Amino acid sequence: MVPTELKNDLHRMVDETNDPLILKEIAALFAALREEGGAWWDLISEEEKEKIELGRAQAAAGQTVPHEVVRAKAQRIIGKKSARQ
């Protein structure tokens, strides 16, 4: 997807959203991502931080899953969702 299409999709989603909590979360995340450094880290929950740290530790220990395996599993899940819709 080219940047113009992405921007148009984001604009549309924001325009269609009336939930102030969602809009505030999106604005905070966008602002944090544009800043230098790790400001986004301060925006995520402790549970999210723990999961990230667990993932880092598992990767350091060599406990990873090849990209192809993850992609195949995601395709199976997406395929099941598409069939239900």
Q: Please tell me what DSSP assigns to residue 44.
A: S
Q: Tell me the per-residue pLDDT of 8-62, one tens digit each, with 9 for 90 and over.
A: 999 999 999 999 999 988 888 888 777 765 667 777 889 999 999 999 999 999 9
How far apart (Å, rounded) are the C-alpha atoms in residues 15 and 11?
6
Number of Cβ within 10 Å of residue 43's Cβ equals: 13
Number of residues that this document lists for the chain: 85
Position 29 scores a pLDDT of 80
* pLDDT band (50, 70, 90) for residue 85: low
Q: Please tell me what DSSP assigns to residue 42.
A: G
Backbone angles phi, psi at 33, to 5 degrees: -65, -30
Q: Where are the beta strands (DSSP E) in the chain?
A: none
Position 70 scores a pLDDT of 93
Residue 84 clears pLDDT 60, i.e. is over it: no
Query: Which tokens hold the place of 27?
Result: 């604005």
Position 59 scores a pLDDT of 93
